[in-house]
Amino acid sequence: MASQTTLPISSPQSTDPPIATPAFRSFISRLSSSIRQGFSQRRPWLELLDRTSFARPDSVSEAASRVRKNFSYFRVNYISLLAGVLALSLLSHPFSLLVLLALVAGWFFLYLFRPSDQPVVVLGRTFSDRETLGILVVCTIVVVFLTSVGSLLISAMLVGLAIVAAHGAFRVPEDLFLDDQEPANAGFLSFLGGAASSAAAAAAAAPAVAARV
C-alpha cells in the first residue's frame, strides 16, 4: 500500500495593514462615543427658547443665580451653542480654519501620537523629540499671537459666552427640574478625561510622551 504523504497546511496570513497610530485611533473612538453620549443628554431646544419663560432679572445677584441654574440644566445646549458660534466664525474665515487644522494635525501626528521609534525626517534631516516640540511650540505661538487665528478664536468665544450669559440671565429657571440631572462633571464634558485616559492606555506599550521631554 502506498504511503500517503501529508501536505503541510499553512495558516492564511492576515492582509490587514497594521494600525500605525493606535493611540490616536483610540482617542478619536473614545472622543466620538463620548460626544454622542453627551448630545443624547441635551435638553429640547424648544424648552431652551420658550418665550414665556423669559423675564428681566430684578438684580445682578438674581441674574447670576439664573445663569448658574440655567447652565447646570442646559449645559450641553450651551456648549453646543458655543461650538456652533466657533464653527461659524472659522467657516467664515477659511484661511484661519486651514491654519488651525494644520497646527492641530502637526501636534497630533508629529508629537502627541507619533511612535517614539519613528523620528521626524524632513529633507533628509532627522529632528529629535525636543526639536520637534520646540518647533511646534514656536508655530503655536506664531499662529495664536501673530496671526488672525487667535483673535478670531477669542472673539468667537466672547460672542458665544455673551449669548449664553444673556440667555441664562433672562431665562426664568423655576419650571426646570434641577434636581433630576447628572453631576456637573458628567455627560458632555466627561470626554476630556475619558479620551485622554484612553489614549494613554493605548500608548502604554510605547514610551510615554512625557518621557520624551
Q: Each residue of 60-86: pLDDT tens digit?
A: 999 999 999 999 889 999 999 999 999
Residue 7 lies in a domain: no
Q: What is the mean pLDDT of residues 138-145?
A: 90
pLDDT at 82: 93
Q: 67 lies in a domain? A: yes
Residues 213 and 129: beta-carbon distance below 8 Å: yes
State the virtual CA torsion across 7, 11, 17, 23 in degrees, nearest 10. Answer: -150
Quote the CA–CA distance of 167 and 209 in Å, as a whole number: 42
The answer to whether the predicted template modeling score (pTM) of the entire model surpasses 0.75 is no
Question: Distance between CA atoms of 54 and 149, rounded to whole angstroms?
Answer: 35
Q: 494644520: which residue's cell?
A: 102
Q: Give the number of domains in the chain.
A: 1
| In a domain? residue 199 | no
Asked if residue 86 is part of any domain, the answer here is yes
Coil vs helix vs strand at 122: strand
Dihedral over alpha carbons 21, 22, 26, 28 (to 10 degrees): 10
Q: What is the pLDDT of residue 111?
A: 81
**Would you say residue 94 lies in a domain?**
yes
Q: Which domain holds residue 74?
A: 42-181
Mean pLDDT of the chain: 75
